[in-house]
């Protein structure tokens, strides 16, 4: 197993970053949604200033921006990662741990001995025998999504600043909040980045370059019943929880949920529910690779709500669907220059190229839609959003090598701003 020159730095950075709680919160209206995200953002500010980056600042919408000055004429490119971690699982009190020279077989967790991680659960472990792995302790996620991307970009930036003989154009860095709740890209960000094209480092297995994502909508169903004392409720009470159960049960269960779909198939996913007998709120995410399929699934959710409401006219049922992001392919396929540059950089690093659609989205989806082309590149993160999350330090090192090849390749790329 070939180690990279960046392994020690990447290990130290990820373990330090992962220990900081940066979980985002969809229920919060603030920007960023949680103040704890700024703890990591301010740490990055100090580190960027110390390593000699230029134009280092924290915007009023919570994004850390910095510049690595050019050493040659070429396209201005951006590198992006998000600091927040997913709300789906506990992210407080993360205790990152290093498994040096993984020898195969099962991995156990000191704070949750009932948990087990092995190649049968996560097949990529088979390719990582001899690697140095980082996991959490079993009761939290790790947060490699996307602190691995943060560590990769910071390591690449430090290397470029320390080695001005490496030819590259101007490099913009952006570390965003709230990606996990779909609010990481403020409308001001593309202009503030001021680059020709950009890349998120927010992917999985080594060699992956992605220019297709889901298109995504958010659905909120609210149900208001009739609240009556249960002792005198006959023919009067309308239980909102019962109606919520009917809504969920009436949706397609065998062909349109995350647990029954794969590949190019989209889904309707009930993500959260809250309330009581009088009032219930159900959150949904709606996903499809094509606009038509996304619209169809939204229509299904609305139709189910309408049918349940018709059957119980005393209740009030509303279904609000709002856009989140769209498949970046719609814009990137018009000019594949940034995608082809990333493909070449992956091959330069000695990796086999993998290009498949993401069953998810990135900040790059919104940036691309807003006019800044932004494909996605791997970090090595595995089993994200849960307690079995892990990453290979050597896979992260390969991502740094791709980033360095990428910025050098951009020296010969045509300036996309004309």
Q: What three-state secondary structure class fits 155?
A: helix
Collect all residues with Cβ–Cβ distance below 8 Å to 215 and sequence separation of at least 6: 287, 288, 289, 290, 291, 294, 325, 326, 327
CB atoms within 10 A of CB 372: 23
User: Where in 5-106 does DSSP place strands (E)?
Assistant: 54-58, 64-68, 77-82, 97-99
Identify any residues that bridge with 17 across adjacent strands, giving them in sequence order.
none
Task: Supply the DSSP string of 363-418, one letter for each residue.
Answer: HHHHHHHTT----EEE---BSTTSTT-EEEHHHHHHHHHHHHHHHHHGGGS--TT-
Structure tokens at 347: 């091959």
| Per-residue tokens: 17 | 């970053």
Q: Let me know: does 238 contact 314? Beta carbons within 8 Å.
A: yes
11 φ, ψ to 5°? Answer: -60, -50
CB atoms within 10 A of CB 415: 12
Task: Give the up-direction half-sphere exposure of residue 271: CA atoms within 13 A in the CB hemisphere.
Answer: 17
Decide if 265 is catalytic: no
My answer on whether omega of the bond before 32 falls inside 30° of 0, hence cis, is yes
- Concatenated DSSP letters of 196-214: SEEEEEEE-STTBEE--B-
User: Which is the catalytic residue, given 179, 186, 196, 395?
Assistant: 179
Q: Which of 130, 123, 122 is nearest to 104 (CA)?
A: 130
d(CA 10, CA 109): 22
> Of the residues 7, 84, 208, 212, which is catalytic?
84
Verify whether residue 84 is a known catalytic residue. Answer: yes
Backbone dihedral region for residue 240 (phi beyond 0: left; psi -120 to 50: alpha; all else: beta): alpha
The residues carrying an active-site annotation are 84, 179
């Amino acid at each position: 197993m070939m180690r990279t020159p960046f392994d020690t730095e990447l290990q130290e950075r990820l373990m330090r970053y992962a220990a900081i709680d940066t979980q985002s919160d969809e229920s919060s209206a603030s920007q960023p949604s949680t103040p704890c995200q700024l703890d990591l953002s301010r740490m990055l500010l100090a580190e960027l200033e110390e390593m000699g980056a230029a134009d280092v600042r924290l915007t009023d919408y919570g994004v850390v921006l910095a510049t690595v000055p050019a050493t040659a004429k070429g396209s201005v490119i951006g590198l992006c990662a998000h600091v927040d971690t997913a709300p789906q699982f506990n992210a407080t009190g993360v205790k990152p741990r290093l498994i040096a020279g993984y020898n195969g077989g099962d991995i156990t967790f000191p704070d949750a001995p009932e948990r087990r991680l092995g190649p049968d659960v996560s097949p990529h472990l088979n390719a990582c025998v001899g690697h140095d792995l980082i996991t959490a302790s079993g009761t939290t996620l790790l947060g490699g999504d996307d602190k691995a991307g943060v560590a990769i970009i910071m390591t690449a930036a430090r290397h470029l600043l320390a080695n001005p003989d490496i030819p590259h154009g101007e490099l913009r860095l952006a570390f965003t909040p709230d990606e996990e709740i779909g609010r990481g890209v403020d409308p001001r960000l593309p202009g503030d980045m001021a680059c020709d094209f950009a890349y998120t480092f927010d992917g999985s297995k080594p060699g992956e370059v992605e220019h297709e994502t889901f298109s995504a909508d958010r659905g909120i169903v609210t149900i208001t019943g009739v609240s009556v004392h249960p002792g005198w409720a006959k023919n009067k009470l309308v239980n909102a929880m019962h109606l919520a159960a009917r809504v969920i049960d009436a949706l397609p269960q065998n062909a349109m949920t995350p647990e029954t779909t794969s590949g190019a198939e989209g889904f309707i996913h009930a993500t959260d529910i809250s309330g009581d007998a009088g009032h219930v709120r159900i959150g949904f995410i709606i996903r499809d690779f094509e606009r038509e399929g996304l619209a169809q699934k939204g229509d299904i959710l609305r139709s189910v709500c309408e049918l349940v409401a018709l059957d119980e006219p005393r209740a009030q049922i509303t279904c609000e669907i709002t856009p989140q992001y769209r498949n970046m392919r719609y814009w990137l396929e018009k000019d594949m220059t940034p995608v082809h540059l990333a493909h070449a950089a992956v091959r330069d690093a000695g990796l086999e190229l993998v290009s498949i659609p993401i069953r998810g989205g990135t900040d790059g989806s919104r940036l691309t839609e807003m006019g800044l082309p932004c494909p996605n590149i791997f970090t090595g993160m595995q089993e994200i959003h849960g307690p079995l999350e892990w990453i290979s330090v050597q896979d992260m090192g390969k991502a740094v090598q791709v980033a360095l090849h990428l910025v050098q390749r951009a020296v010969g790329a045509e300036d996309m701003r004309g």
